[in-house]
Structure 1
Amino acid sequence: MPIYAYRCASCGHAKDVLQKLADAPLTQCPACGAETFSKQVTAAGFQLKGSGWYATDFKGGTGASSAAAPVPAAEAPAAAPAPAAHTCSGSCSH
């Protein structure tokens, strides 16, 4: 359930109220009884920073990082062949 900030326009009384989304907004001030109690616009209580997280980040419970284990040399993919030596004369443009 969200917490809403309310403020009375008559007496200035402020209160945070835990309400269901389906509940009607409060209008009567609990301090002075006036019908000027209204919801205030407030900033969110959390911030999302960084690139986020994934479902696999916290699985396992060992506290180890989620980096993949190294692949044994026998199972490692073959390395790409080295590029051929440059055979052009010194006046080429690439």
Structure 2
Amino acid sequence: MPIYLYRCADCGHSLEALQKMSDAKLTDCPECQAPALQKQITAAAFKLKGTGWYETDFKNSGKPAAAKAAGSEASSDTKSSSSAGPASAGAE
């Protein structure tokens, strides 16, 4: 739920209200009881928690994690067996 900032046009009192977006605007000031509250325009605030977001986080989002790991192991096995093959053939 968003937090809205209100200010009374009569007495200048300001307050924050936690409201649903569908709730009606507040009108009565809690200080002077005048129906002069006006909703203020404020910047949205939010926090990103965790280690952060990087460009590389979703580069390979189409591939499952197991397929990525299996693919990297298979390619390293292929490289090591192909490099071992010609060296052992020349030694015989």
Query: Under a length normalisation based on structure 2, what TM-score does the superposition of the two structures give?
Result: 0.55
SS of residue matched to 1:6: strand
Gaps of 5+ in 2: 80-92
SS of residue matched to 1:7: strand
Cα RMSD between the aligned structures?
Answer: 3.1
1:32 aligns with 2:39: no
- Paired positions, count: 65
Partner of 1:20: 20
The verdict on how the C-alpha distance between 1:19 and 1:74 changes in structure 2, with shifts beyond 3 A counting, is same
CA shift for structure 1 position 50: 6.5
The verdict on how the C-alpha distance between 1:46 and 1:33 changes in structure 2, with shifts beyond 3 A counting, is same
Identity %: 46
Determine the C-alpha separation between the residues in 2 that align with 1:52 and 1:40.
39
Determine the C-alpha separation between the residues in 1 that align with 2:27 and 2:34.
8
Q: Give the one of 65, 72, 78 matched to 2:76.
A: 72
Determine the C-alpha separation between the residues in 2 that align with 1:20 and 1:34.
23
The structure where helix makes up a greater share of residues is 2
After TM superposition, the runs of 4+ consecutive aligned structure 1 residues lying more than 4 A away are 47-53, 67-70
Query: What is the 5 A alignment of 1:1-94?
Result: 1-46=1-46, 51=55, 53-54=57-58, 69=72, 71-72=75-76, 74=78
- In the alignment, residue 28 of structure 1 is paired with which amino acid? D
- In the alignment, residue 78 of structure 2 is paired with which amino acid? A
- In the alignment, residue 72 of structure 1 is paired with which amino acid? S
